Structure 1
Amino acid sequence: MELLTFVTAGSVDDGKSTLIGRLLYDTESITEDQIEAVARSSTRMGLEETNLALLTDGLRAEREQGITIDVAYRYFSTSRRKFIIADAPGHVQYTRNMVCGASVADLALLLVDVRTGLTEQTRRHAFLLSLLGVPHWLIAVNKMDLVDYRQADFDRLREECSRFMTRLRVPDLAFIPISALRGDNVVTPSDTMDWHHGGTILDHLETVHIRSDRNMVDARFPVQYVVRPRSDDFHDYRGYAGQVAGGVFRPGDEVLVLPSGMSSRVESIDTAEGPIDEAFPPMSVTLRLADDLDVARGDLICRPGNHPVVTQDVDAMVSWMDSTPVQPGARLVLKHTSRSVRAQLREIVYRVDVNSLHRQNTDSLGPNDIGRIKLRTAQPIMCDDYARNRTTGSFILLDPNTNRTVAGGMVDTRTQD
């Protein structure tokens, strides 16, 4: 069955974990033992009702504080699709975790409290989801039970969200009024909101079209590992293992290896189950080439007439995640696909105000700041514009001394030669 990965986003206390718990509970995707364990935890916390948010808030600190800290991944399926849920934290301190969960999502489930509307953190999450290129958005207007399920309150918030979203890059946007606590419009239609005719959360997750989202035109294959079996049966075997990041590869295709510029053709495509006739995203395969070339981890295999930008000067939007601010001149490590290179921050072009979306001049980026920067790398990287390919257009920045992740970035090649 088709797989859909989606991330929950929004401000703290907007009900993300409760919604996911309700979704798992009402689709009968959790066991009796899990339900009993959550019920016992709810009783120990002095709650009269079972707190379904505890199904995803697994860390002790999360349960004690009533917030989500880590990204909790949950899995369930229906007769129509399989799903991976990334329940991301809403607290501003853990924005980095939300970025990690959203970076691989097909759909963003953005929760908004009908009473408070768009908070600063909700706007920050929306802006990040736009930068991360999540193609499908579902705005769940939550806690409708606290405003007596009034359509006027839902319409008011939908208008507020729509005005803000028109300033972002949102290809597909939908709204559903819900009560995650009561289960209204999560899996089953609400009897108290008969004015809503847009289906439930589960209806939307099962039917949203995602097959055309992946780039099937630009062939991209970052090499993760060179396969050389130490066996007499495979003494001449040399393969290049990795995950297809774009396009389609078939035996006989002419290919180009970057950054060396050497060319060859695909001899075969191997998997654990045996050879296959074609490979496409997100398949993990081993490519064998007809010629014995010098190909190493971090190289990229593409088509001769369709290759990414090879550059040492990188323009990008970044979300700064570290507690220590950064300034021009900082030495960093840039990890792009399977390639890691030294880099220097040459310039901070501007910082974005997440509330107004206005650009601000600045000489530093602090925790949770979003801005545009220029980097210079020690060796070239092979990258696409992020809007064209989310894999070859993204990177992370590391502190070279601690190896700590300090930022996530999205390449913009439109300003490069």
Structure 2
Amino acid sequence: MARHRNIRTMNYDEEYDGYDDVYGHSVEDDYASSPSMQHFLYDRSQEHQMSAYMQSDIPEEDELVSDESKSGNDVGVPSRIPPLGELEQAQLYSCLDLLRDRMGDALSEQAGIDAILACNFDAEKALDQLLKTSVASTLSKSTKSIIKPKPAPSIQVEKIRGSEVRDGKTPVKVVSAKKVVATGFSLPPTGTDASSSADRQPAKQESAVEETSRQLGCLQTPGATPRSTSPADREATPSATPKSQSRTRENRVDVASEYVKERSGTKALLNLVVVGHVDAGKSTLMGHMLFRLGQVSSKQMHKYEQESKKLGKQSFMYAWVLDETGEERSRGITMDVAQSQFETETKSITLLDAPGHRDFIPNMIFGAAQADVALLVVDATTGEFETGFESGGQTREHALLVRSLGVSQLGVVVNKLDMVGWSRDRFNEIVARLGAFLKQAGYKEQDVFYVPVSGLTGENLTALDEPKLTEWYSGPTLLQAIDKFRPPERPLNRPVRLVISDIFKSVGGSSGCCLAGRLESGMMQTGDKLLIMPLNEIIQIKNIAINEVSKGSCFAGDQVVLTVSGADLSDVSLGSVLCDPSQPIKVTSRIEARIVIFNIDIPITKGYPVVIHYQSLSEAATISKLIAQIHKSTGEVVRKRPRCLTKQTSGLVEIEISRPICMELYKDYRELGRFMIRANGTTIAAGLVTGIL
């Protein structure tokens, strides 16, 4: 027992001297570092207030809804600032944010405010002034230690073309190609580029200028590819345009004149989507038209006829022109968007055949998002029209979706009229019922036409021969009606934006990968270097194909297939965007949007889970905030912070998306500022992006 310690006579103060921090030691101090009983005891010696035990997440009553009020919420108010109006204050905060993004920690907040006010809210001039001051101070320090100047390679960064100030963000400025340009400002000319001997500096100073600019994040090492892992970094504009990217902007002084030069004398381009309820005969209708126009040979058509007859589906032989996959042919329905081309007298049509089944609405939304005009096909058979139009069919939903995605010109094709004996009364009944609905949906009467046809027999597709129809109908054929569509205005002089809708390996596999999509704005040429977002990598265009024909350039509105190099095929995903490196698209997971609610059973509340359909993307999202209920027509605020949004109302909301995606404001890019909201398999709202948070 001698080895055991006698704990009865042990002096604990001496035994544990210096061991107060031993793990597990019980502490009964005032601050209660561990959750012991002392932590929960009420101390009467301290003054307690009831408000300390109450929490409230009710927002302030004087919260404003306008964009101007939110522009400075996240910016700390400087210690010295003169009294300014709301507009001047918003400009000041926007310019200050830009200076922080460009200069980072090197920016003194008070110096930035003084420079902005001195330059009359011109962020570009303020940035130039601040940087010259910073560079001058750095040069004065570096020249003191120069012992012997030695030659250094000249610095030359290609110029970047800018534009006017938008949303408080100042783009870069156009300067001489001989000057050093660094994200919106120019440094003093050096070496042989100086205009006088007084401006010439030793080569050592030139290196100091390069080093100083690189420390401020203004120059990028040639050949380095920017890669970002955070959404905030991905949103940043690339610091400088590489030399090989100069032709992307330099050769496009006026894209509109280039368009007229290359496309003059050619037919106007039109993207046409065909929508409608399942089994309305969309694929048969358009397949038969393609055959009548010579886009499908008689030999190929005979093959389709024999193969469909073996499966007992001979009536689907024309549908097989567009439904090419085995699953589509075996099930007898369109599942994906089929694409083809044909020409009218004055138009070159890119045909998009969208699926009608409710299970493939996301694919239909993707096809409609690429379209300029649309054809709505309805079944004139007794009972079938009523099923698609009234009993939960897709006729109403497709018409609303197409209109919400910006398509204002619509052609209604009354198909299968031969099944009701070419009845004039049946045709007039369908026109009357659809006309009232389309007018409520936002279509103008002059932008909607109605054509009676038979997709299976081919009557009134390209020629009008049926005597029973000619007795009461003397209007245009379907081909002639399509030719009357007006081509929309193309955003040719805007920065390049192309949403990737398909990715596949090029022929041979070693010459790069192929990216397919519709060029939403701008112009692209072979050899251009573009930025792919949100991957944030540079790719080079090796070939441009339109309708399987190689071209040297393409313009806004073209459906193109690009053969590119510089990006790994596994890193590129659907929904990524090719854009101008000097003006990249924004990447975000939070947006502010104006939405229009359709017929819904459950009102939309805060925290409502939805699915966002944007171009070729379908992303889970949440309605994180209801900012206001607004008037459906005027856009005026009806009620701030409503508890819910019910059917047939409009509202301003904040939406949290599950992951960062590329988006643009509706006012800047109409095509890239629209999206659809679905929940529980139905479309519940359409939205316009009003703010990127």
| Range into which the TM-score falls when normalised by the shorter chain | 0.5 to 0.7
What is the number of equivalent residue pairs in this alignment? Answer: 341
Amino acid at match of 2:624: R
Larger relative contact order (CA 8 Å, sep ≥ 6) = 1
Q: What does residue 482 of structure 2 align with?
A: 205
Q: What does residue 670 of structure 2 align with?
A: 390
Q: Secondary structure at the match of 2:394?
A: helix
Q: Over residues 78-112 of structure 1, what are the superposed CA-to-partner deviations in whole Å (9 max), with x where a residue is unaligned?
A: 55432222111111111111111111112111111
Give me the whole-angstrom Cα distance separating, in 2, the residues matched to 1:96 and 1:338.
8
Identity %: 26
Give me the whole-angstrom Cα distance separating, in 2, the residues matched to 1:76 and 1:34.
17
**Where is the strand percentage greater, Structure 1 or Structure 2?**
1
Q: What does residue 266 of structure 1 align with?
A: none
Task: Assess, with a 3 A threshold, how the Cα gap between structure 1 residues 340 and 374 changes in structure 2: closer, same or farther.
Answer: same
Query: Which of 63, 78, 81 is residue 329 of structure 2 equivalent to?
Result: 63
Q: Over residues 344-402 of structure 1, what are the superposed CA-to-partner deviations in whole Å (9 max), with x where a residue is unaligned?
A: 6414899xxxxxxxxxx9899xxxxxx9863147989763327x7433313689xxxxx
Task: Assess, with a 3 A threshold, how the Cα gap between structure 1 residues 174 and 215 changes in structure 2: closer, same or farther.
Answer: farther
Amino acid at match of 1:124: E
The answer on whether the counterparts of 2:623 and 2:653 sit within 8 Å (CA) in structure 1 is yes
Q: What does residue 68 of structure 2 align with?
A: none
Q: What does residue 401 of structure 1 align with?
A: none
**Where is the helix percentage greater, Structure 1 or Structure 2?**
2
Q: Over residues 177-235 of structure 1, what are the superposed CA-to-partner deviations in whole Å (9 max), with x where a residue is unaligned?
A: 1111111111111433112222011112223221x443468x3444999xxxxxxxxxx
Report whether the alignment pairs 1:155 with 2:435.
Answer: no
Q: What does residue 473 of structure 2 align with?
A: 196
The answer on whether the counterparts of 1:384 and 1:411 sit within 8 Å (CA) in structure 2 is no
Q: What does residue 458 of structure 2 align with?
A: 183
The answer on whether the counterparts of 1:188 and 1:200 sit within 8 Å (CA) in structure 2 is yes
Amino acid at match of 1:131: S
- Give the unaligned 5+ runs of structure 1: 226-241, 250-269, 286-296, 320-325, 351-360, 365-370, 398-405
Instruction: State the shift of 1:20 in Å.
Output: 1.0
Report whether the alignment pairs 1:113 with 2:391.
Answer: no
Q: What does residue 284 of structure 2 align with?
A: 18
- Structure label with greater radius of gyration: 2
Q: What does residue 231 of structure 2 align with?
A: none
Which residues of 2 match residues 347-366 of structure 1 at below 5 A?
347=625
The answer on whether the counterparts of 2:455 and 2:461 sit within 8 Å (CA) in structure 1 is yes
Give me the whole-angstrom Cα distance separating, in 2, the residues matched to 1:170 and 1:338.
25
- Give the unaligned 5+ runs of structure 2: 1-266, 501-516, 525-540, 545-552, 563-575, 598-603, 629-642
Q: Secondary structure at the match of 2:290?
A: helix
Q: Secondary structure at the match of 2:671?
A: coil
Give me the whole-angstrom Cα distance separating, in 1, the residues matched to 2:618 and 2:337.
25
Q: What does residue 128 of structure 2 align with?
A: none
Which residues of 2 match residues 281-292 of structure 1 at below 5 A?
281-282=556-557
Q: Over residues 125-169 of structure 1, what are the superposed CA-to-partner deviations in whole Å (9 max), with x where a residue is unaligned?
A: 111111111132100011111111111111111000011001112
RMSD: 5.1
Query: Which of 129, 143, 154 is residue 402 of structure 2 equivalent to?
Result: 129
Task: Assess, with a 3 A threshold, how the Cα gap between structure 1 residues 279 and 303 changes in structure 2: closer, same or farther.
Answer: farther
Q: What does residue 624 of structure 2 align with?
A: 346
Task: Assess, with a 3 A threshold, how the Cα gap between structure 1 residues 376 and 202 changes in structure 2: closer, same or farther.
Answer: same
Q: Secondary structure at the match of 1:76?
A: strand
Give me the whole-angstrom Cα distance separating, in 1, the residues matched to 2:661 and 2:316.
54
Instruction: State the shift of 1:337 in Å.
Output: 8.7
Give me the whole-angstrom Cα distance separating, in 2, the residues matched to 1:329 and 1:129.
27
Report whether the alignment pairs 1:412 with 2:667.
Answer: no
Instruction: State the shift of 1:271 in Å.
Output: 9.8
Task: Assess, with a 3 A threshold, how the Cα gap between structure 1 residues 408 and 281 changes in structure 2: closer, same or farther.
Answer: farther
Task: Assess, with a 3 A threshold, how the Cα gap between structure 1 residues 343 and 31 changes in structure 2: closer, same or farther.
Answer: same
The answer on whether the counterparts of 1:6 and 1:107 sit within 8 Å (CA) in structure 2 is yes
Instruction: State the shift of 1:244 in Å.
Output: 6.5
Instruction: State the shift of 1:416 in Å.
Output: 9.2
Task: Assess, with a 3 A threshold, how the Cα gap between structure 1 residues 340 and 27 changes in structure 2: closer, same or farther.
Answer: closer
Q: What does residue 441 of structure 2 align with?
A: 168
Amino acid at match of 2:332: G
Report whether the alignment pairs 1:375 with 2:661.
Answer: no
Give me the whole-angstrom Cα distance separating, in 1, the residues matched to 2:614 and 2:284.
35
With the length of structure 1 as denominator, give the TM-score of the two structures.
Answer: 0.64
Give me the whole-angstrom Cα distance separating, in 1, the residues matched to 2:434 and 2:644.
28
Which residues of 2 match residues 80-119 of structure 1 at below 5 A?
80-114=346-380, 115=382, 116-117=384-385, 118-119=389-390
